[in-house]
């Protein structure tokens, strides 16, 4: 049976003493990262090849000999800092290769940033309600409480990361879970993801479902902007500046938590409330969406901001994917090219700039843009996978429901 990897992020509450230890350790990881980055940049400048993760990892023992403070950090955690640098380089090269000329080289990490520490396979202990991490800075145990609702078997947990974000601390546990076997039960649900309606879905019965996006950012962003502008007027690092900074972080945290929470709840409902075992979504290319230059300039600014906020749409798909796998369903991503332009009835391609919300085709098909899009996705999935029974049933149902609404639905050539 295949298994899947899931991550659970849990907030921890270190004491001031523990917090100091965490920062000391994190600082060492940050420095190793920066040293390694400097070495790579140097090598590049002087045309030296062969500096990579392996060589840098092999240098670690020597560094520890000369600078014993690097032994404070659990050795695998230090190695992981180098690995994350390697990963940053890889993603940079991949982006460049795919034509993203604006991709940036990895940068040096500033002093104020807590570097995430990753314990891979070892260096941590999990007991009911508790998690402990190894370190050699001092005798202060790095032991944290985990709420009872999270029960983990130590053997399941493959990796634990300690991170800090806006002066809160978290552990993220990556664990493996066995898949429920998936059976195609002949029922499908196609989902179009968008900005105003986060979900427009159609099922095999031809029934539509539309869910409006909750936009906590619309409520919080003006507040954040206001605090920011008050902060800008203060002297940097003054008492007032610090207070305003704290408030700003709090607002940002609330905004992010509310967005995430909404997505968690909605994805769970979608997966649980459908009888379909197969959910179909379009493959998102958020980068492309944000750069869409077919939008007239005055409208582009707002749209860019909106799509960037919906960078979280990618996360939503991720939620759908793992939540469906957990219950023996599947979320499948398929190519959504032209799905908004193609008339689902006759297949004709229309020019559908993003502000045009209704498609009206010569063939008589008049339909909301998002609805059309999810129907196209459904048709595409079923035909590409030769699910001909499902395909026929879906179209029959769809035509039937369309007729009930007294919409003129022209016949389709098989």
The site for Zn ion (CB under 5 A) is made up of 343, 345-346, 348, 361, 363, 365
Helix (H) or strand (E) segment spanning residue 216: helix 216-232
**Please, what is the minimum distance in Å from the beta carbon of residue 367 to Zn ion?**
9
β-pairing, 188-193 vs 168-178, is unpaired
Q: Which is nearer to Zn ion, 53 or 394 (CB)?
A: 394
Q: Which is nearer to Zn ion, 25 or 376 (CB)?
A: 376
Contact 81, 115 (CB under 8 A): yes
3-state secondary structure (DSSP) of residue 369 = helix
Sequence-distant (6+) residues with CB within 8 A of 313 are: 193, 198, 284, 286
Tell me the β-bridge partners of 144: 131
**Please, what is the minimum distance in Å from the beta carbon of residue 409 to Zn ion?**
11
Alpha-carbon distance of 7 to 35, in angstroms, equals: 30
**Please, what is the minimum distance in Å from the beta carbon of residue 345 to Zn ion?**
5
**Please, what is the minimum distance in Å from the beta carbon of residue 362 to Zn ion?**
6
Q: Which is nearer to Zn ion, 80 or 344 (CB)?
A: 344
Alpha-carbon distance of 132 to 408, in angstroms, equals: 66
- 49: exposed, middle or buried (Cβ count in 10 Å: 0-12, 13-18, 19+): exposed
DSSP 8-class letter at 32: H
Q: Which is nearer to Zn ion, 211 or 346 (CB)?
A: 346
Neighbours of 215 (CB within 10 A): 19
Q: Which is nearer to Zn ion, 116 or 365 (CB)?
A: 365
Q: Which is nearer to Zn ion, 29 or 345 (CB)?
A: 345
Q: Which is nearer to Zn ion, 353 or 410 (CB)?
A: 410
**Please, what is the minimum distance in Å from the beta carbon of residue 413 to Zn ion?**
12
Alpha-carbon distance of 62 to 65, in angstroms, equals: 5
Q: Which is nearer to Zn ion, 313 or 367 (CB)?
A: 367
* Residue/partner pairs of 168-171 with CB below 8 Å, 24 or more apart: 168/11, 168/253, 169/11, 169/12, 169/13, 169/14, 169/19, 169/22, 170/9, 170/10, 170/11, 170/12, 171/9, 171/10, 171/12, 171/131, 171/144, 171/146
**Please, what is the minimum distance in Å from the beta carbon of residue 352 to Zn ion?**
12
Q: Which is nearer to Zn ion, 343 or 375 (CB)?
A: 343
**Please, what is the minimum distance in Å from the beta carbon of residue 350 to Zn ion?**
8
Tell me the β-bridge partners of 279: 189, 331
Contact 200, 192 (CB under 8 A): yes
Q: Which is nearer to Zn ion, 253 or 350 (CB)?
A: 350
**Please, what is the minimum distance in Å from the beta carbon of residue 4 to Zn ion?**
40
**Please, what is the minimum distance in Å from the beta carbon of residue 343 to Zn ion?**
3
3-state secondary structure (DSSP) of residue 6 = strand
Alpha-carbon distance of 86 to 109, in angstroms, equals: 15
**Please, what is the minimum distance in Å from the beta carbon of residue 107 to Zn ion?**
50
């Amino acid at each position: 049976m295949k298994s899947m990897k899931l991550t659970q992020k849990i907030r921890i509450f270190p004491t001031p003493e523990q917090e100091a230890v965490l920062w000391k350790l994190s600082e060492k990881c940050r420095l190793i990262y920066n040293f390694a980055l400097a070495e790579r940049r140097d090598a590049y400048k002087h045309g030296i090849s062969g500096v990579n993760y392996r060589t840098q990892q092999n240098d670690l023992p020597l560094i520890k000999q000369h600078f014993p403070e690097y032994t404070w950090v659990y050795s695998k955690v230090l190695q992981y800092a180098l690995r994350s640098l390697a990963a940053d380089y890889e993603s940079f090269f991949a982006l460049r290769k795919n034509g993203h000329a604006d991709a940036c080289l990895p940068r040096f990490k500033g002093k104020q940033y807590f570097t995430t520490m990753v314990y891979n396979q070892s260096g941590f202990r999990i007991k009911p309600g508790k998690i402990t991490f190894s370190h050699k800075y001092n005798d202060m145990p790095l032991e944290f409480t985990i709420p009872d609702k999270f029960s983990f078997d130590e053997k399941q947990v493959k990796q634990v990361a300690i991170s800090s974000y806006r002066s809160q601390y978290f552990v993220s546990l990556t664990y493996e879970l066995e898949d429920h076997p998936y059976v195609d039960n002949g029922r499908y649900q196609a989902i179009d993801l968008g900005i105003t309606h986060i979900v427009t879905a159609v099922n095999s019965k031809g029934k539509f479902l539309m869910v409006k996006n909750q936009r906590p950012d619309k409520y919080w962003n003006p507040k954040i902007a206001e605090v920011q502008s008050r902060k800008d007027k203060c002297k940097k690092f003054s008492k007032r500046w610090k207070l305003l900074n704290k408030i700003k972080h709090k607002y940002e945290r609330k905004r992010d938590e509310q967005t995430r929470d909404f997505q968690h709840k909605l994805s769970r409902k979608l997966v649980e409330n459908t009888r379909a075992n197969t959910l179909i979504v379009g493959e998102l290319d958020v980068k492309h969406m944000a750069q869409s230059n077919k939008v007239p300039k005055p409208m582009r600014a707002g749209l860019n901001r909106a799509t960037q906020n919906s960078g979280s749409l990618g996360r939503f798909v991720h939620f759908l994917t793992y939540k469906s796998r957990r219950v023996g369903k599947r979320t499948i991503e398929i190519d959504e090219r032209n799905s908004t332009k193609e008339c689902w009835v006759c297949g004709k391609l229309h020019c559908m700039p993003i502000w045009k919300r209704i498609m009206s085709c010569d063939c008589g098909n008049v339909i909301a843009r998002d609805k059309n899009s999810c129907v196209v996705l459904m048709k595409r999935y079923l035909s590409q996978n030769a699910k001909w029974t499902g395909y026929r049933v879906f179209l029959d149902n769809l035509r039937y429901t369309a007729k009930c609404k007294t919409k003129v639905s022209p016949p389709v050539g098989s």
